[in-house]
Structure 1
Amino acid sequence: MMLEGFIGFIKELKVRNDALFYFGLFCLLLSVICIVLTKTTATQIHGVNAWFKPFKFAVSLGLYSCTMAWYCHYLSDFNTTPFNWTVIVLFGLELLYIIFQASKGQLSHYNISTPTYSLLYSLMGLVAAVVTLYTAYIGLLFFTQSFPKLPSYYVWSIRLGILIFVVFSFEGGLMGSRMNHSVGAINDNSNMWLIGWSKTVGDLRVSHFIGMHALQLLPLLSFYIFKNTKATIVVSIIYGLLAVSTLVQALNGKPLITEKKIEELK
């Protein structure tokens, strides 16, 4: 039954927006190649395999594309074509640049070592801002349009998921302005599973990750588990506060979880 449901979801996603469906699929296939390369190459950047960054970005962009393909279908009088091409062209170029830099064992983010790299890094920031603003506009449409055929709790989960996504997408600008995702060290990483968050100092990527994936998590929880508008709103507020608390924790130079705690969990 689960397999049939998943296949049905994939077919429906393709019908809703085939352009973003195929781009999302392309990103997810690239993520598989990147994770294989983490096991077959030894090139490192800041103490972690160079291919972990493109892997994480490919997964994130793939999920974003498929998620927005699903949500935009609900909007009336919304022209998906400009949005599709904005996402595909801008995120596609960004991902290819990240992969290219990883293949050379060089930084893509925070790299201003040459005028060219500095320009490309600035353009990546512009890409993120443009897509985030476009997503914010879509979120505004969800707040201003009515959806009589959809459960109220589901609509609210999409609204609040997009809102939290936008806020913590822009939180990425904090890392860009600091040229550093760590607080208390210089771009510290660890071998913490696939995510690589620091176990010794504050890591601004934690809140960035939690906040941005409200886009997927809140609607899934609301639609399949809570099925209630009040519960959806309360859980969304708690989730947003969780993202804020991890941001405050990182700014205070404290890691999400220390090496000692990880050992205790083992």
Structure 2
Amino acid sequence: MATLDLDHTLSRIRFRAVPLGASGQRPPWHGPLLINAGLMAALVVVSVLAMLVDDRELLGESVWLEPAEFGFGFALYGVTLAWMLRLPHRGRRATWWLGTVFAVAGIADVAFIAVQAARGTFGHFNTATDPINQLGQQVFTSGVPALFFANLVLALIISWQRLTDRPTRIALKAGLWLALTGMLLGYLMGYTGAQLVRQSDGTVVGLMAGHTVRPGAPADAARDGAGSAMPITHWSTTAGDLRVPHFIGLHGIQVLLVLAVALATLGTRYHWLRTERTRAALLGVAALGYCGLLTLVLWQALRGQPLTGPDLATAGATSVLAVFVAGAITAVYRRSREAPTTVANP
């Protein structure tokens, strides 16, 4: 009976691409990205502690919620990129510098968000004319495009290479493009229209845009924070919220990589998952399904509809997507059951 060498599979998922050098040592992790991730993790801890002692709010949220969310997202993504860049690939020098650009730009952008939180005001879209805010908006103007284009070039370089086993390769490449899409969708927030909102001290400040879509809302009226919100994420439950597709796109790479590891683990118990071909097919289905989910929540948000309040059209589209994914998984399962069980050579 065929068996799956799980230790070998997982070792490739975690450490393959780290070819031994002349000294017999694996190449080091990407230092700037690890520094980025460490600083972001520290910011999460500081922000959570600050929430406990600082009762200031912006639009009904703690002033420290945004730094905590950005710190968490950057820490997770930074570690993912640092691991990916250890995999064997051509153009390693170029990808090292691209990773460094991402790390530096990310630190600069999130540092400004933290500074604005400490000041009790908004980081994004803030039109205040004080010197600190004006300087910070210039940081955003250069930092955000740097983050996007560094990831774009990384994705172009990585997409044409084998890197590792097929399931993990699909997860990585699809995840990179999903993350890029999530970043790109962030730019849609810039077209939601201006609004007047209050800072934590009660003074009014103008924002050139926002996160939510409220069809028919009066010009300049505060859209963000006008209504109830979900716990933790604070996504709106009364309007379309563009942070939903932004978040889902950015973290698709982690979801798919976790699925790749889970399938490899389950392959030790279920014989139909033991072949690399089957697991790769399931990752392909998952990537397509995830793209469908991203499209669905974007469509929902653009129509001014909250994630928690789907209408019949959204519910119908969700059902179609679920049927497609279930059918594709069933087809992969039936094909694998009919085929002889073999283990792909590494």
TM-score, L = length of structure 1: 0.85
Whole-Å Cα distance in 1 between the matches of residues 52 and 29 of structure 2? 36
Q: Compare 133-142 and 248-257 and name the one that shifted more.
A: 133-142
Equivalent residue of 1:27, what SS?
A: helix
Q: 4+ runs of 1 displaced by more than 4 Å? A: none
Q: CA deviation at 1:143?
A: 1.8
**Could you tell me the percent identity over the aligned residues?**
24
Q: CA deviation at 1:101?
A: 0.5
Residue in structure 2 matched with residue 193 of structure 1 by the alignment? 231
Matched, 1:151 2:165: yes
Matched, 1:225 2:263: yes
Residue in structure 2 matched with residue 76 of structure 1 by the alignment? 90
Kindly name which structure, 1 or 2, has the bigger radius of gyration based on alpha carbons.
Answer: 2
Query: For structure 1, which runs of at least 5 residues remain unmatched after alignment?
Result: 259-266
Match of 2:124 among 88, 93, 109: 109
Q: CA deviation at 1:14?
A: 9.8
Q: CA deviation at 1:123?
A: 3.5
Matched, 1:126 2:142: yes
Provide Cα deviations, 1:107-129, integer angstroms capped at 9, x if missing partner. 01010122753563353143222
Residue in structure 2 matched with residue 263 of structure 1 by the alignment? none
The answer to whether the Cα contact below 8 Å between 2:240 and 2:304 also exists between their aligned partners in 1 is yes
Q: CA deviation at 1:132?
A: 1.6
| Residue identity opposite 2:154 in structure 1 | I
Whole-Å Cα distance in 2 between the matches of residues 118 and 174 of structure 1? 22
Query: For structure 2, which runs of at least 5 residues remain unmatched after alignment?
Result: 1-9, 19-25, 193-208, 215-221, 265-275, 310-346
Matched, 1:141 2:178: no
Q: In 2 relative to 1, CA 203–125 (structure 1 residues): closer, same or farther, beyond 3 Å? A: farther
Equivalent residue of 1:144, what SS?
A: coil
Residue in structure 1 matched with residue 180 of structure 2 by the alignment? 166
Q: In 2 relative to 1, CA 14–204 (structure 1 residues): closer, same or farther, beyond 3 Å? A: farther
Aligned-residue RMSD, C-alpha? 2.4
Q: CA deviation at 1:103?
A: 0.6
TM-score, L = length of structure 2: 0.66
Residue in structure 2 matched with residue 62 of structure 1 by the alignment? 75
Whole-Å Cα distance in 1 between the matches of residues 82 and 175 of structure 2? 15
| Residue identity opposite 1:151 in structure 2 | D
Whole-Å Cα distance in 2 between the matches of residues 77 and 87 of structure 1? 17
- Structure-to-structure mapping, 1:18-97, within 5 angstroms: 18-74=31-87, 75-79=89-93, 80-97=95-112
- Name the structure with the higher helix share: 1
Whole-Å Cα distance in 2 between the matches of residues 142 and 82 of structure 1? 14
Provide Cα deviations, 1:177-196, integer angstroms capped at 9, x if missing partner. 33111011612375522211
Matched, 1:176 2:190: yes
| Residue identity opposite 2:247 in structure 1 | F
Provide Cα deviations, 1:71-116, integer angstroms capped at 9, x if missing partner. 1111233125422431232111111111111011100101012275
Match of 1:247 among 276, 298, 310: 298
